[in-house]
Each structure stands twice: as C-alpha cells, then as structure tokens.
C-alpha cells in the first residue's frame, strides 16, 4: 500500500534536526542506539560544505524518511555516490516510501554522471536485503568493511 500525498524533495538546512532524529531511529533499529555521536553542528557543517546531501520524504508536513548520500570516486568506475543511510520511520514502512527515496537517489546519481551507487546493508536485515534485491542490486558478500574510529 503506497502512502498518499507524499512529497519527495531535496533537504534544506532547516531539515537537519529531523534528519538527525531519523538517523538515531535507524541506529536504534540497527541495535546500536549509542553509536550516533555526530551532533547537529556536525550535520550543519557537513551539509553546508557539500560533504553530504539528502532527499527526504514528507507526509502531513512531517519528515517520515530520508536518504543521506555523498559523492565519492571509484578507482575502477569513476564518479559514484555512496548511500550512507536510507530510513523510513517505522509507522510509514511498507508503504513504498523507501522505494520513492531510493528511486530519487538513483535519479540523482544518473543526473550527476555517476557510474556507480554503493551502500552497505547489515547481513541480518532481511527486509533491507529483499528490498535491494528487488531493485536488481548486486549484494557483495565477499567484501569486508574495515574502519578505524577516532575518539574526539
């Protein structure tokens, strides 16, 4: 069932507090509620300098979903986008809003000349895996993610 009267648009600075709230909701869903340490000031700086961008979903004047992405470069393919987070608030899931956001990110990638869109998905998140597979995504299981966290 697709929600009606959903507005999909690029985010503006005033949307950042609600975007951060949705990211925190995602962290709770991903069983890492204390992992979000980025502040609203971090979001404001990153957004204003073009470090990342967002496409949001609005229903009844309330943000219900966000796709946060950033431009990067693939040494093998060239210009690409990385989808950092795609989240729809729990009460609006399974209504096609995630698909609307994902389609908007795909369009953004194509319009900016990207040759590749990449993201990560947790191996236990079966609904997300099915969503991406439905969109003909290649889910690579032979690459491991490495990271180093700097305490500040």
pLDDT in tens, the chain (152 residues): 566 789 999 999 999 999 999 999 999 999 998 999 999 999 999 999 999 999 999 999 999 999 999 999 999 999 999 999 999 999 999 999 999 999 999 999 999 999 999 999 999 999 999 999 999 999 999 988 898 888 76
Q: What would the two tokens of residue 99 be?
A: 């698909």
Q: Please give the pLDDT value at position 2.
A: 61
Q: Cβ distance 9 to 52 under 8 Å?
A: no
Cα–Cα distance measured from residue 101 to residue 126, given in angstroms and rounded to the nearest whole number: 19
Model pLDDT, residue 3: 61
Q: Which of 13, 8, 23, 94 is nearest to 55 (CA)?
A: 8
Active site residues: 132
pLDDT for res 149: 87
pLDDT at 151: 75
Partner residues linked to 72 by β-bridges:
80
| 148/109 Cα distance (integer angstroms) | 28
């Amino acid at each position: 069932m697709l929600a009606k009267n959903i507005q999909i648009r690029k985010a503006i600075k005033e949307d950042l507090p609600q975007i951060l709230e949705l990211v925190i909701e995602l962290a709770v869903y991903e069983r890492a509620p204390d992992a979000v340490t980025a502040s609203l000031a971090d979001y404001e700086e990153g957004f204003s300098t073009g470090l990342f961008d967002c496409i949001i979903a609005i229903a009844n004047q309330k943000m219900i979903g966000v796709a946060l992405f950033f431009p990067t470069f693939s040494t093998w393919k060239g210009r690409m986008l990385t989808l950092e987070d795609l989240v729809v608030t729990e009460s609006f899931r399974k209504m096609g809003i995630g698909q609307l956001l994902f389609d908007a990110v795909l369009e953004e990638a194509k319009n900016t000349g990207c040759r590749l869109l990449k993201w990560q998905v947790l191996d236990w998140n079966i609904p997300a895996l099915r969503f991406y597979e439905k969109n003909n995504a290649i889910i690579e299981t032979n690459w491991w993610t490495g990271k180093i966290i700097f305490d500040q």
